[in-house]
Each structure stands twice: as C-alpha cells, then as structure tokens.
Amino acid sequence: MKKNRYFKGLITVFLVIIGVCGIAWFTWHLGRMFVSLVSTSTIDSLAEVQASDSRILNLPDIIFWTCQVGVFKDQKNVEAQLEFLSSKGWKAAVLTEEPYTIAIGSFAAKEDALALSSLLAGDGIDTWVKEESFPALHYKVNGKNTEEVIRILTLSNSLLKELGNNSVPDKVTLVAESVFTSECPSDFAKLKQALVQLLTTPDANHDQDYTYSQNILNLYAEYKQVTTKFFTEKN
C-alpha cells in the first residue's frame, strides 16, 4: 500500500515537472515570436523611411552653342576679364577652372551664337563660337530637402535642355513660384539664385537683347559646378 502511494507521488511530481517545463517552453517560444515580429516590423518601417528620403534622379545631357571669350591660367586675369566685360555691359560666365574658360551667352542654334559674336566684335570683344556639352547624370538624391533639390535640378536641366526663344517658356512660369518659396541646402544656394534670376528675366524687347541668353549661361555654370561636385562626392 505504501509502495503504491510512493509511485503515485513520483508520478505526480513527474507530471508537475513536465507541466512546468511545458509552460516555460511555451512562454519562451511566444516571447521569441513577439520579438521576431517586432524586429521585422521595425526593419520594414525603416526601409520605408529610407525609401521615402531618397530618389533616383535622371538628368538628360545638355548641348548648346556659346561665344567663348578666352582661356586663362591665372585667376587674377579671369577677374580682370570679367570686370572688363561687365564694364561693357556684358555678363560672362566661367565654364571651367584650371584653366579658366570664359564665355557669353547660350543658344540652341549656332547661327544665333554667331549673331552675338558679331555684335560683341563691334564692341571690341573678340570671341569664337563653340559647342558646349555636359553629359547626362543618373544618381540618388537623399537627405533633407530632397524634393526641393530635385525640383531645382530638374527645372534647371529642363531650361538648359530647351533653350526656347530668348525668354522663359510659358510652361515653366507655372512652377516658378514653388522655386521662389522653397528651401534648399547651402550647396545649392547659388544654383537656386541663378535659377530665380533667370525665371525673373524680362522678355526680350528686341532681337539684340541677350539678357536671357547671358543669364541662362550663368545658370549652366552653376548647374555644372554643383552637379559635378555632388556626383564626385557621393560616388
């Protein structure tokens, strides 16, 4: 009789141990599943944020004609030349550095550049007409003010790609206000300033009003500088 009670006691203890182990295993397994679900959810959420903070930007190549004034090695000579041209009423842009290339105006057709070159010659400024090009760009834009940076770059590229008829295209004026009020990183401040100046250029009063072509070349110089810097640093 005592022997049966002994075995029953052992069985009870054994069942209790199994029950405790089962509860412990179930609790551990449930906790592991919860941690896994939370971790997966966090990773998915982070991926969504990263995706929303970066975009792939495609900027087509740019080709145009310009009146090249000269190529200089010394920056002092560049500054002197720019001041001389400014005193004559012309706004030039520096297209390359070391050596420094100075040019005036940007045109879709070579004939228009030749017309400006003749006008400059009459003002005592020797130039030669040259085709300028800048390759297409494809890279990721991320960080703060992503939308603003993309808007400035794409609008600048569009204006440089389609030079128009010596005035701001009508379709561009519809989005100009968004550029005026947008904020952008300091690296893009000069490009934005050049873009705003171009967008606010008065329509040409006559065929020899080259204000727009001069401002758009200035936009190209800033566009080239900032995209080259951005592409080099990010890649």
Which DSSP letter does residue 203 get?
P
Of 66, 70, 68, 69, whose CA–CA distance to 110 is shortest?
66
Candidates 98, 86, 94; CA nearest to 66 is: 94
For residue 107, the model assigns a pLDDT of 96
Which pair of structure tokens corresponds to residue 76? 């002092």
Stated as kind and residue range, the H or E segment containing 95 is strand 93-96
CA atoms lying within 13 Å on the CB side of residue 235: 11
Provide the token pair at 225: 């500088």
Cβ count near 233 (within 10 Å): 8
Number of C-beta neighbours around residue 222 at 10 A: 20
Identity at 146, one-letter amino acid code: T
Q: Which pLDDT does position 85 carry in this prediction? A: 97
Distance CA 223, CA 188 (A): 9
Please provide residue 7's backbone torsions phi and psi, each rounded to the nearest 5 degrees.
Answer: -65, -40
Beta strands 54-59 and 93-96: pairing type? unpaired
Distance CA 111, CA 73 (A): 30
- CA 41, CA 225: separation in Å to the nearest integer? 42
Q: First CA to last CA across the chain, in angstroms?
A: 86
List pLDDT tens digits, range 129-147: 999 999 999 878 777 778 8
Name the H helices within 146-210: 146-161, 170-173, 176-181, 189-199
SS (H, E, C) 59-78: ECCEEEEEEEEEEECCHHHH
Residues in the chain predicted with pLDDT less than 50, given as ranges, are 1-3, 30-52, 233-235
Reported as a single tens digit per residue, the pLDDT across 160-188 is 988 766 677 766 666 666 677 777 788 89
pLDDT at 52: 44
